[in-house]
Amino acid sequence: MPEPTPVSMSATLAADEALARRRRAGERVLSMASGEIGLPVLPALRDRLAAAAGENAYGAVAGSPALRSAVAGYWERRGLAVDPGLVVAGPGSKSLLFALLLAIGGDVIVPVPSWVSYAAQARLAGARSVPVPILPGQGGVPDPDRLREAVTDARTAGQHPRAVVVTVPDNPTGTIASATTVRRLAQAARELDLVIVSDEIYRDLVHDGSEPAVSPALHAPERTVVTTGLTKNLALGGWRTGVARLPDSELGRALHTRLTAVASQIWSSPPAPVQTAAAYAFGEPPEVTERVAASRRLHRAVVRAVAARFTAVGAELAPTAATCYLYPDFEPLREHLAEAHGVHGGDGLAALLSERYGVGVLAATAFGEPGRPLRIRAATSRFYGETAEQQTAALETAGSADPLSLPWIRESVDRVGEVLADLAGSPVPALAPHA
């Protein structure tokens, strides 16, 4: 009998669970390992979910008409108009991404670095993942020239790459691929006859509205599937809700048929009460857009303050343009880390941060980086407070003042500064709170 496909626990979720155990045991820990957004549910959404609790039928596999038409409106407002009949909702965009890989078939090109689950899902789907590096500062999108080479080589070797996954804006780097890179990627995908799966779950968390993320669906509409959800913009990860926008083309309609068939065999339909609340959220009434704007301001202020602590000790860092992620490179400190701490790579660095300082981060290897890069990914989305009251205060403060004026946020940011200074053997940086 064949052995089951090897699969490991998602690095982010595993790190989170380990830190939660240590916290329960009374240890002082600072969780920067996962992108869980530590903010409360918007009351209007909580009320709608509660009112929908009686909705107990499965409903349509692709999601309710109300949700699909609200989602179509959401995409239309972002220049990506779509027929609601080509929208598919599911229990989280992660499930949809996996179902898409099953529906598309073939091997999958993934950027390096990229989110922990793409390569793992490809393996689970019985496919190969073909890693293609990004261009510097162009996180989430494989270098289009290297993509051409990799696909040609893979096909020559008898492999069957059929899809390329991109993340705009990106996790883990917190950067946004430029319009030019996205256009070149779309052109290469068309020449190579690849489906583009564009994971845009961070789209609403771009810090500067004048530089929005560009979707490859604008350049290769016939072959781009876009996914998003409410996990990041509205902190609703535990509600498990995600959506996919399929291309309006023969390919898109065939994929829709296969995707809904896969969905029908795995999860049947998205959870009905959540769909009702999600339809309201995707309709974007003012209270929803205001909440998303406040959380964007909060992420921006805190991630920038933490970034300054990393660069102050000599780590290199592409400026975070979206999300709550930092992807610092400690290469300039390689000698010191080896001599002072016996650390030679990102895994050792992450282990040291966790064991000695109680700071949870992920090593770059979790994102598919080869070798022993001294890179880690740190998320700042848990700095907003332990209680709903503190988190609400953080959101409110971000509207008019510096959220670092709140003592619990300041304490976490200062702790990062102290830990990094100790690690680097340098004095604690005297930075302005918001620097």
Region of 67-75, 89-97, 122-130, 421-429 interacting with ligand PLP (CB under 6 A): 89-97
Is residue 215 within the footprint of ligand PLP (CB under 6 A)?
no
Between 134 and 343, whose beta carbon lies closer to ligand PLP?
Answer: 134
For 377, the 3-state DSSP assignment is: strand
Between 137 and 237, whose beta carbon lies closer to ligand PLP?
Answer: 237
Name the CA radius of gyration of the chain, rounded.
21
Query: Which residues in 223-244 are b (16+ Cβ under 10 Å) and which e?
Result: bbbbbbbbbbbbbbbebbbbbb
| 209-216, Cβ contacts within 8 angstroms, sequence gap of 24 or more | 211/176, 211/321, 213/168, 213/169, 213/176, 213/177, 213/322, 214/168, 214/177, 214/178, 214/179, 214/182, 214/183, 215/78, 215/79, 215/80, 215/168, 215/182, 216/166, 216/168, 216/182, 216/185, 216/186, 216/189
Closest approach of Cβ 115 to ligand PLP, in Å? 4
- With contact defined as beta carbons under 8 Å apart, do 166 and 109 qualify? no
Q: How many residues interact with ligand PLP (rule CB under 6 A)?
A: 13
Closest approach of Cβ 12 to ligand PLP, in Å? 6
Closest approach of Cβ 97 to ligand PLP, in Å? 7
List all residues 6 or more positions away from 305 whose beta carbon is below 8 Å from its beta carbon. Answer: 404, 413, 431, 433, 434, 435
Closest approach of Cβ 236 to ligand PLP, in Å? 8
Is residue 201 within the footprint of ligand PLP (CB under 6 A)?
yes
Region of 87-95, 175-183, 185-193, 287-295 interacting with ligand PLP (CB under 6 A): 87-95
Is residue 92 within the footprint of ligand PLP (CB under 6 A)?
yes
Is residue 138 within the footprint of ligand PLP (CB under 6 A)?
no
Between 94 and 308, whose beta carbon lies closer to ligand PLP?
Answer: 94
Can you tell me which of 121, 167, 233, 354 binds ligand PLP, judged by CB under 6 A? 167
For 213, the 3-state DSSP assignment is: coil
Is residue 229 within the footprint of ligand PLP (CB under 6 A)?
yes
Query: Which residues in 329-366 are b (16+ Cβ under 10 Å) and which e?
Result: bbeebeebbeeeeebebbbbbbebbbeebbbbbbbbbb
Is residue 252 within the footprint of ligand PLP (CB under 6 A)?
no
Can you tell me which of 131, 139, 242, 346 binds ligand PLP, judged by CB under 6 A? 242
> What is the number of other CB atoms lying within 10 angstroms of the CB of residue 281?
26
Between 238 and 407, whose beta carbon lies closer to ligand PLP?
Answer: 238
Is residue 231 within the footprint of ligand PLP (CB under 6 A)?
yes
Q: Give the span between the Cα atoms of 230 and 46, in whole angstroms.
A: 13
Can you tell me which of 74, 98, 115, 310 binds ligand PLP, judged by CB under 6 A? 115
- Which bin fits 398, alpha (ψ -120 to 50), beta or left (φ > 0)? alpha
Annotate each residue in 405-434 with x if it binds ligand PLP (CB under 6 A) or - if it does not, as one string: ------------------------------
Is residue 381 within the footprint of ligand PLP (CB under 6 A)?
no
Closest approach of Cβ 20 to ligand PLP, in Å? 16
Between 130 and 226, whose beta carbon lies closer to ligand PLP?
Answer: 226
Q: Which stretches of the chain bind ligand PLP, using CB under 6 A?
A: 35, 92-94, 115, 167, 171, 199, 201, 229, 231, 237, 242
